Structure 1
Amino acid sequence: MSPQSLIRTTGEPAPSGTDPQVPCRISVIVPTRNRHVLLERTLAGILAQAFDAFEVIVIDDASDATTRAAYAAIWQGLDARFRLVQLGATGGSGSGPSQARNAGIELARGDILTFCDDDDFWTCASHLSAMAEVFDAGLAVDLYIADQVAVTHDGTRERAHWLPALAALVGRRSRDHARGYLLPIDDLVRAGGFAQLNILAVSKATTAAIGGFWTRTSYEEDRDFFWRAADAARALFFNPDIVAQHNVPDASRQNNLSRSFSQAERWLLSVLVSQHIAMTVRSSAIRTMCQAYEGDILRRLSQYWSGQGRHALGLQYARRALAARVSFKWAMYTAGLATRQVLRGRQA
């Protein structure tokens, strides 16, 4: 069932703030669920933008009745550029971030799509204007990346730059535009990591070409979307300016979706996402990166299960890791696990 049909069948009111007469160049998509206080801060960062030809589509993914009432109150102070769409029944289980974002993508009127999570916020009032300048510069840019800081729940700055290796890589070059640098896909892969959605913009055409977000996972769906979009884009652009603050989820709390999975489950989902990226992209550099990352995660799973006393499972993942990423050191580690497993069998 498509996101649009999910919205239509809920019986909830029509989207708030819809006005086809409002000029729209950029669509900002914000998924949310039961976070009205944090969402208000996110919206304030968007409202502070100097660029005004945008719309904001907030997808409320089955928040409870109290939160939906709070959202309605927030919308009393917003203008017609801000749309509130209720996805799913009040207090329901929710459709997940991929489905919620896809619902926003289907409703978007802008030809540039950007995103912000409801627990993060933009800190730079020129973020959208800089983005629009680059997309309008005749560079055939389909994917735009900026930079952000990462802050823990107690206010400690965990990362001063989200993509420090990328910033260092391009810092030695001349700018291709006043706002930053065109990026070959191989350089983006070499820098490692990926641009979180708060600092990412993608052309609507490219988003449509890759089918939006992959709805089979609710973990690392942003990494999956990023690399598939980067692969499909005509040109990539990096603006090294800090434009947002990412709030790192508190590991001691389980209200964040990514923290609701066990560590082993997160690793398994990471492997799945890597395989999905590799099977859908054209770039050999991205595929090689995904295979190497998969090998690293499988090694962690091997060591994890061996540490839990599940030696046969540890050996199974060790062999899979070796197939994904061959190294002499890991081959010796795997051989050691196999030898110990044989000895245990003889002693049984």
Structure 2
Amino acid sequence: MSISGTHLTASVIIATRNRTDLLAKAAESVAEQDLSDFEVLIVDDGSSSETLEHHRQLVVRLGTRFRLLEPAAPGCRGSGPSGARNRGARAATGEFLAFLDDDDFWCDRSYLRNACEALRSHSADYLFGDVVADRDGAVIRPNWAPPPGETLKGSHETGTPGIRQLTPRYSQYLARARVIHPGHSVVRRTLFEAVGGFFEGLWSNSEDRDLMIRVLDSAAGVLYYQNPILNYRLPTVGSITCSEQTYLHSLQRNLSGQHCRLRCTNEEYRASARASEAWALRQLADLQARNGSIADSMFFALQSVAAYPSLGGLFFLAKHSLNCVAAAMHRQKP
């Protein structure tokens, strides 16, 4: 039940674990929103005792609209981003759900109010906005998700300033893009529940895209908010996220494609899922080739074409096969 005893307009869910300083900035950006009736659920997914105490103090400081969902025990094994977000969604009372990562922050204080009003006015289920991407505090891309020019071509005016309605065809294009993120999205809670929430078998950002494809597949209407609403922190070059986990990320992306292919009802979105699966398999093929595992590399390359047959896929397979043959011959030289 909400603070007022009635359903609120929106619930904002922030999953976190041991990132106090970053969380504070994220939560403060939500506290500045000018919507009158919303709640914020901070889901602690197993922070240390010291960090958990900081989170308790943060919630008290930010006011009664903030709630902290504590872990079973400090430092316990968490359920991961998907599980933590789903836990927050189950506790939420808002008509609409918004999610924010603890290392990002919102940069438009009217975003939540404008988004919820637009979704109600136009009987839509899902809204997303533009993103500012930065790395180490320096803006890398001021309009990151997705390219504004493309979005304008794939949408039409709604009569509400700054809000556009996407065409079904452009929604299908979005499902193939790699820039969809819950942090710049608002979804009707009934739709989130209907599609099953986040798939808890995924992580490494694959869970974000997996949910968005299933939401786009089932949404009655999709709106585009033209202003940048999210400041998204890109990982530092050379970090674990950028290098050591590339292989695992590709495996997760492949699993996400399979999951969406089975869950989506429209053929267009099933095709998008297959394309995502093929993309991940190509990444795995390239990684195995660089590691010298020629047989495994060819296996993934063939699987990519089987997942999503296309001229581009066939070209990749031909080029990849030649490279693998050349590498094998080079190894055989005395």
Pairwise same-fold verdict (TM > 0.5): yes
Sequence identity (%):
26
Q: Show the counterpart of 2:168.
A: 185
Q: 1:163 aligns with which of 145, 157, 161?
A: 145
Q: Show the counterpart of 1:29.
A: 13
Give me the whole-angstrom Cα distance separating, in 2, the residues matched to 1:273 and 1:95. Answer: 18
Q: Answer yes or no: is the 8 Å Cα contact 2:2–2:8 preserved in 1.
A: no
In structure 2, the CA distance between the partners of 1:337 and 1:245, relative to structure 1 (3 Å rule), is: closer
| 1:239 and 2:225 are equivalent in the alignment | yes
In structure 2, the CA distance between the partners of 1:128 and 1:169, relative to structure 1 (3 Å rule), is: closer
Shift of 1:83: 0.4
Give me the whole-angstrom Cα distance separating, in 1, the residues matched to 2:179 and 2:260. Answer: 13
After superposing on structure 2, the runs of 4+ consecutive aligned residues of structure 1 that deviate more than 6 Å are 340-347
Q: Answer yes or no: is the 8 Å Cα contact 2:33–2:109 preserved in 1.
A: yes
Say which is worse superposed, 317-326 or 23-32, in terms of deviation.
317-326
Q: Show the counterpart of 1:75.
A: 59
String of CA shifts for 1:256-304, please: whole Å, max 9, x gaps: xx56962111111111111111111112222222222322322222222
Give me the whole-angstrom Cα distance separating, in 1, the residues matched to 2:232 and 2:105. Answer: 7
Secondary structure, in 3 states, of the residue corresponding to 1:292? helix
Q: Answer yes or no: is the 8 Å Cα contact 1:180–1:239 preserved in 2.
A: yes
Give me the whole-angstrom Cα distance separating, in 2, the residues matched to 1:76 and 1:297. Answer: 43
| 1:123 and 2:107 are equivalent in the alignment | yes
Q: 2:209 aligns with which of 223, 229, 235?
A: 223
Secondary structure, in 3 states, of the residue corresponding to 1:222? helix
| 1:133 and 2:117 are equivalent in the alignment | yes
Q: 1:320 aligns with which of 287, 303, 306?
A: 303
Give me the whole-angstrom Cα distance separating, in 1, the residues matched to 2:119 and 2:317. Answer: 48
Q: Show the counterpart of 1:198.
A: 183
Matches within 5 A, 1:1-348: 19-21=3-5, 24-137=8-121, 139-153=122-136, 155-165=137-147, 167-170=149-152, 174-178=156-160, 179-191=162-174, 192-219=177-204, 220-254=206-240, 262-324=245-307, 325-327=309-311, 328-333=314-319, 335-336=321-322
In structure 2, the CA distance between the partners of 1:243 and 1:326, relative to structure 1 (3 Å rule), is: closer
String of CA shifts for 1:217-273, please: whole Å, max 9, x gaps: 12211111111111111111111111120111224445xxx5696211111111111
Give me the whole-angstrom Cα distance separating, in 1, the residues matched to 2:198 and 2:91. Answer: 14
Q: Which amino acid aligns with 2:264?
A: V
Q: Answer yes or no: is the 8 Å Cα contact 2:3–2:65 preserved in 1.
A: yes
Q: Which amino acid aligns with 1:169?
A: T
Q: Which amino acid aligns with 1:136?
A: R
Give me the whole-angstrom Cα distance separating, in 2, the residues matched to 1:193 and 1:218. Answer: 15
Q: Answer yes or no: is the 8 Å Cα contact 1:185–1:230 preserved in 2.
A: no
Say which is worse superposed, 102-111 or 313-322, in terms of deviation.
313-322
Secondary structure, in 3 states, of the residue corresponding to 2:61? coil
Give me the whole-angstrom Cα distance separating, in 1, the residues matched to 2:324 and 2:299. Answer: 9
Q: Which amino acid aligns with 2:94?
A: G
Secondary structure, in 3 states, of the residue corresponding to 1:31? strand
Q: Which amino acid aligns with 1:26?
A: A
Q: Answer yes or no: is the 8 Å Cα contact 2:146–2:179 preserved in 1.
A: no
Secondary structure, in 3 states, of the residue corresponding to 2:158? coil
In structure 2, the CA distance between the partners of 1:336 and 1:114, relative to structure 1 (3 Å rule), is: same
Shift of 1:141: 0.5
Secondary structure, in 3 states, of the residue corresponding to 2:197? coil
- Taking structure 1 as the reference length, what is the TM-score of the superposition? 0.86
Q: Answer yes or no: is the 8 Å Cα contact 2:172–2:272 preserved in 1.
A: yes
Shift of 1:42: 1.0
String of CA shifts for 1:156-180, please: whole Å, max 9, x gaps: 2122112243543325864113131
* Number of equivalences: 327
Give me the whole-angstrom Cα distance separating, in 1, the residues matched to 2:47 and 2:212. Answer: 27
- Taking structure 2 as the reference length, what is the TM-score of the superposition? 0.89
Structure 2: gaps (5+ residues): none
Structure 1: gaps (5+ residues): 1-16
Give me the whole-angstrom Cα distance separating, in 2, the residues matched to 1:222 and 1:142. Answer: 17
Shift of 1:199: 0.8
Q: Show the counterpart of 1:11.
A: none
Q: Which amino acid aligns with 1:119?
A: D
Q: Show the counterpart of 1:10.
A: none
Shift of 1:308: 1.6
